[in-house]
Amino acid sequence: MTEINFVEGGFWVAQWWYNIPPVGSPAVEYDFIWDSLSAGLNCEISGVHFGPDNEYDYFDSTYYENILVLSATDASGNFVQSEIISMVNTGDVIRVQNTIGSRIATFTATNAIPLGPDRIMITYDNASFYYSSLNGNGFNDNEPITFINTSATTGLAGDVEWNSFYYYHDHLDNGAAYCEAGRIQHFDFEYWNYGGISGTNCDIFSCPSIIYNSDYAYGSRLFYPKGSTPKVIYIRGGQVLVRGIVDGQYSIVTDDYTEYRRHDDTDKIDRVWGNIWLIDDVVYSDSYASGQTIHPNDGGSTNVLGLIAGGNVIIANTRPNGARGKQYGEDIIINASILAMNGGFISHYWQNTLLGYHDFNDGLEYGIIADGRGGHRNYYQEQIGIGPDYSGVYTGTNDFRGDVNLWGSIVQFKRGYMLRNYLGPYNVTPGVGYDKNYNYDYNLLVNPPPYFPDLETENSNVVLKMASYGEAKK
């Protein structure tokens, strides 16, 4: 996940890593010591080696063997014979590696049997054997070794909250369906909640240093000066969080989507759409306090921002944006030209604090309508107790967040919802979301965002087609 935080004179960039649930439990692995002296079916206590000869071919840089012999006792002194034998099945892919991964052997197991009470023998198809070594040598005697069954099914990780398919996906779990741009999306993975998970009860707005310096941070936060020329900020292969005071001429561009293998089942492929999440006001440095831009007749503004999302442009469920029925703040101000190529300009209504409509199965006739986590956000609340509420804090029928005060323009593939209430799957009043206060920024006629797409090319080929039009309600 990337964050772009605009400030006067430039912008800050931060990145975090995350897993999209469902998250599988850690790989089944055991620690041993490499035994280069034993041969045949013999083995030192806590040792492991290839057999029957246990010889490394330095000319071909590999082992020409067909069995792996392991001690029934691992390096920690645990008796693991029955565990490993019951866990290894025909066809499982086994990996044997040293601590830093500079020497790795992989093979496909054909059988696992006991050798008396103190050893294990795993046979394998030598045609499947592969060995890699950075220095061209075999394993060293007494070198710490990890034995890993990469094919073992271990279920879902127990230490990941909301670790269920339907809290993060609103499509069939059949290996063929995938997340679509116009359906529910997510940004609030563990990196976002670290302030609460770590016990400090804060977030990126109240304790930014904790979030920026957590174990989820991918590198250091960096500042980029605006310079003297317009800038295009390309977010490759993912989503982006945006906020701040825009001082300059920028366009933020994302990919359409990125495919990934699911952590709980690597045979299944899903998609992350290139969404742009607005987590707080995005306003030009010279705009009025209301967010209104300076009209060209009054001198205009040279500041401009284009938000070009391959997926959606989403007003995130955050405290500054009016979460929890305006408990901490309200409204959002946006100065930008918005383009949602495959989705819409939309509020984050599926994460809400409505007592009766916060869970994915609260409206079964409508399918998945919410992500379940609204009562546990802003601020973070631990998922404990009995579902579907899990001891969350809710706001009854009111999660109205204020107004969307926009000066700019909007182009979207499909018109997105801003307010959900009666009628429909959120059958309450006032419901969840925002009223609209949309205003065109006439500066865009003379000062469009850098490299913002045109309706037509120079050869009059249509790039963007108008599907429908109408005056937005304020």
Distance CA(95)–CA(29), nearest Å, equals: 9
pLDDT in tens, 73-102: 999 999 999 999 998 999 999 999 999 999
The DSSP 8-state label assigned to residue 47 in this structure reads E
Distances (CA, A) of 131 to 46, 68, 345: 22, 14, 51
Q: Give me the pLDDT at residue 362, please.
A: 80
Q: What H or E segment, with its residue span, contains residue 86?
A: helix 81-87
Q: Give me the pLDDT at residue 423, please.
A: 84
Residue 463: pLDDT band (50, 70, 90) is low
Instruction: Kindly give the residue spans of alpha helices, DSSP state H, lying in 313-363.
Output: 323-326
Q: Give me the pLDDT at residue 48, please.
A: 98
Distance CA(8)–CA(295), nearest Å, equals: 21
Does residue 27 surpass a pLDDT of 60?
A: yes
pLDDT in tens, 403-419: 999 999 999 999 999 99
Distance CA(300)–CA(278), nearest Å, equals: 25
For the chain, the average pLDDT equals 93
Q: Give me the pLDDT at residue 266, please.
A: 82
Does residue 434 surpass a pLDDT of 60?
A: yes
**pTM given for the model:** 0.78
Q: Give me the pLDDT at residue 152, please.
A: 79
Instruction: State mean pLDDT over 133-151.
Output: 94
Instruction: State mean pLDDT over 52-64.
Output: 95
Instruction: State mean pLDDT over 33-49.
Output: 96
> Nearest 5°: phi and psi at 219?
80, 180
Flag the least confident range among 156-165, 251-260, 336-345: 156-165
Q: Give me the pLDDT at residue 31, please.
A: 97
Does residue 275 surpass a pLDDT of 60?
A: yes
Distance CA(107)–CA(93), nearest Å, equals: 6
Distance CA(351)–CA(187), nearest Å, equals: 11
Which among 113, 45, 123, 42 has a CA at the least distance from the CA of 78? 45
- 310-337 as b/e, with b when 16 or more CB fall inside 10 Å? bbbbbbbbbbbbbbbbbebbbbbbbbbb
Does residue 472 surpass a pLDDT of 60?
A: no
Residue 320: pLDDT band (50, 70, 90) is very high
For residues 382 and 375, is the Cβ–Cβ distance under 8 A? no
Distance CA(441)–CA(118), nearest Å, equals: 78
> Nearest 5°: phi and psi at 375?
-75, -5
Does residue 155 surpass a pLDDT of 60?
A: yes
Instruction: State mean pLDDT over 292-296.
Output: 98
Percent of the chain with pLDDT over 70: 96
pLDDT in tens, 185-244: 999 999 999 999 988 889 999 999 999 999 999 999 999 999 999 999 999 999 999 999
Does residue 468 surpass a pLDDT of 60?
A: no
Residue 459: pLDDT band (50, 70, 90) is confident
